[in-house]
Amino acid sequence: MDQHRLGRLVDVGRSLVTELDPEAVLQRLLEVARELTGARYAAIGVLDERREQLERFLTAGIDPDTHRAIGDLPRGRGVLGVLITDPRPLRLPDVGAHPESFGFPLAHPEMTTFLGVPLIIDGQAWGNLYLTEKESGEFTDEDEEATVVLADWAAIAIRNARLYRTVQERRDELERTIRGLETTTEISRALGGVTDLDRVLELVVKRSRALIDARAAEISLREGDAYVLAAQAGEHPGHEGDRIVAPMIFRNRTVGTLTVIDRLHGDRPFNEEDERLLQAFAASAATAVATAQNASEEALKRAIEASEAERTRWARELHDETLQQLAGLRMLLSGARRSGDATRMAGAIDGALEQITTAIGDLRSLITELRPAALDELGTKPALESLVARFEGQTDIAVDLDVTDARFLPEVESTVYRLVQEALTNIAKHAHARRVAVELTADDGEIALVVRDDGTGFNPQLQSSGFGLIGMRERLALVNGTIEIRSSPGAGTELHARIPTG
Ligand SMILES: Nc1ncnc2c1ncn2[C@@H]1O[C@H](COP(=O)(O)OP(=O)(O)OP(=O)(O)O)[C@@H](O)[C@H]1O
Ligand SMILES: [Mg+2]
């Protein structure tokens, strides 16, 4: 083999084995084989799994129009078949004259000289390299020699590229698993503090959809024996679709199911890897969902208890005030009637009128406390002013009120009112305070409420049997608000509440 050709072969070999894409290796092989031998046409036939037929046929030197005109690609009959059954180099001066020749299709370019070399990978026939129509004369010994070496290089390169692909696929798979684990950890972290069931469900469907790259995701929760759709993300394809259903199991109890439907990008169907990922995800989602379910049951229970306690308080109030007054009135009037004495009766009527006036006043303020009319009609500021006036009248505590005129959504206004009402009640009951400040400001899409007293203070961390502070938090949660209680024994108390308005 001449020096030039040898040098070329080495170069080509080097560039072939560094190519990591199997398809690119084949393309290079076709080009280089033509260049080295001066063949007009080159082709690679790839054998099918049983090594009986060609399953692929790649060509170089034939333009696309001719390709189309030829029609079906060869399957490996005729001379090509000879190389399949007997994988050894085959060189012919006239391929059409070979006894096995099958004849070319009509539109096929004329081909006479032929050189075929098997491609052997790991000791097994993998395919063949065919060269035809040498520019000048027949293919030579040197052509054959060079093509055999080239085929060896190509075999190594294909093997390399394949190995690389498997490694790459493994790495992708590993990366996906890690991503899955990260999402799962992230979700447990994100959900750790979240006890609002709807938010948990929303997060779970959205994250699982992104994790599996699905068109849609759904959660159905178990209610008795039935499963009820509870949350959805993405657009449901409207047909059955490709789907994975993963059970959400928490402490041996099926909480619900998590389903992903159809791949969003590309048309790769869901595979085992996706299934494993979704199952792992569903398992940690189950914990979050079950926790949130318990929390919402807890919250409901507490809300019921709180309203029960509130009712008891009103009943006591009505009993202690109004009922006592009415009972006293009845005694006064019936005593006077029994006496039959006109002067006494006139006095009793005067007394009764006076007591009725007081009772009406008491009842009115009780009703105002239950639902202050001023709140709906005039807004937070006037309602708080009359609340504070009543408070100052009943206690010896002075209140500095600094409240914005702004109006808010009805539920926000009544939350603010109830908060101040409970804060003042607590101050009267527990604080022994002398001064109180109530401040309400609104800006930047947020309301800030501060109630400050100079009383005894307390440790907010300690559990209490009362409902007041719990009620505050729950009312605030309903309007997405938060509260912070700053207090310690001897240092007075500050309540800071924030409610978004935008
Ligand atoms: N401003 C305050 N100053 C001092 N202690 C307070 C103050 N506010 C609340 N506390 C303490 O916190 C506890 C819890 O208050 P909370 O309003 O939840 O319950 P309560 O007032 O005891 O009962 P309820 O509100 O159900 O009638 C109170 O019992 C009291 O010890
Ligand atoms: Mg209270």
Report the atom number in ligand 1 closest to the C-alpha of 309: 26
Closest by CA position to 201, among listed 255, 154, 244: 255
Instruction: Please enumerate in sequence order all residues whose Cβ is within 8 A of that of 465, keeping only pairs 6 or more positions apart, or say none.
Output: none
Q: Do 3-166 and 377-500 fold alike per CATH? A: no
Rounded to the nearest whole angstrom, what is the distance from the C-alpha of residue 422 to the centroid of ligand 2? 6
Rounded to the nearest whole angstrom, what is the distance from the C-alpha of residue 168 to the centroid of ligand 2? 64
pLDDT of residue 52: 86
Q: Which residue CA neighbors atom 23 of ligand 1 most closely?
A: 466
Residues with CB under 5 A from ligand 2 (ion): 426, 466, 468
Count CA within 13 A, CB hemisphere, residue 223: 7
Question: What ligand has the least distance to the C-alpha of 469?
Answer: 1
pLDDT of residue 308: 76
pLDDT of residue 224: 86
What average pLDDT values come out for the chain (502 residues) when binned by 10 residues?
A: 77 76 85 92 89 88 86 84 89 90 82 93 88 93 90 84 77 72 67 72 89 92 91 85 91 92 87 86 85 79 76 78 84 89 90 88 77 78 90 92 92 91 94 96 93 95 84 86 94 96 80
Protein residues whose CB sits closer than 6 Å to any atom of ligand 1: 309, 426-427, 429-431, 453, 455-458, 464, 466-469, 493
Q: Strand 90-92's sheet: what is its strand order?
A: 54-60, 39-47, 124-134, 114-121, 90-92
pLDDT of residue 192: 59
pLDDT of residue 5: 78
Report the atom number in ligand 1 closest to the C-alpha of 426: 8
Cross-strand partners of 244:
260
Please provide the CATH number assigned to the domain covering 377-500: 3.30.565.10
Kindly report whether the global pTM for this prediction surpasses the value 0.85: no
Question: What ligand has the least distance to the C-alpha of 465?
Answer: 1
Rounded to the nearest whole angstrom, what is the distance from the C-alpha of residue 498 to the centroid of ligand 1? 20
CB-count exposure of residue 461 (10 Å: 0-12, 13-18, 19+): exposed
Work out the angle between the directed axes of helices 342-370 and 272-317 (0-180°, nearest 10).
160
Ligand 1 pocket mutation pick from 420, 451, 464 by most atoms within 8 angstroms of CB: 464
Rounded to the nearest whole angstrom, what is the distance from the C-alpha of residue 374 to the centroid of ligand 1? 27
pLDDT of residue 268: 82
pLDDT of residue 306: 75
Question: What CA–CA distance (Å, rounded) separates 211 from 179?
Answer: 8
Question: What ligand has the least distance to the C-alpha of 306?
Answer: 1
Answer whether 237's CB lies under 8 Å from 215's CB: yes
CATH superfamily of 3-166: GAF domain (3.30.450.40)
State which fold the 190-292 domain adopts: Beta-Lactamase (3.30.450)
Question: What CA–CA distance (Å, rounded) separates 151 from 187?
Answer: 53
pLDDT of residue 177: 67
Ligand 1 pocket mutation pick from 399, 421, 424, 458 by most atoms within 8 angstroms of CB: 458
Residue 464, helix vs strand vs coil: coil
Ligand 1 pocket mutation pick from 426, 463, 488 by most atoms within 8 angstroms of CB: 426
pLDDT of residue 232: 94
Report the atom number in ligand 1 closest to the C-alpha of 306: 26
Question: What CA–CA distance (Å, rounded) separates 92 from 84?
Answer: 16
Ligand 1 pocket mutation pick from 310, 420, 430, 459 by most atoms within 8 angstroms of CB: 430
Answer whether 102's CB lies under 8 Å from 83's CB: no
pLDDT of residue 68: 85
Domain ranges of the chain: 3-166, 190-292, 377-500
pLDDT of residue 94: 92
Report the atom number in ligand 1 closest to the C-alpha of 471: 18
Question: What ligand has the least distance to the C-alpha of 464?
Answer: 1
Rg for the chain, CA atoms, rounded: 44
Closest by CA position to 242, among listed 211, 275, 219, 290: 275
Rounded to the nearest whole angstrom, what is the distance from the C-alpha of residue 422 to the centroid of ligand 1? 9
DSSP structure string for 389-428: HHHHHHSS-EEEEEE------HHHHHHHHHHHHHHHHHII
Pairing of strands 398-403, 435-443: parallel
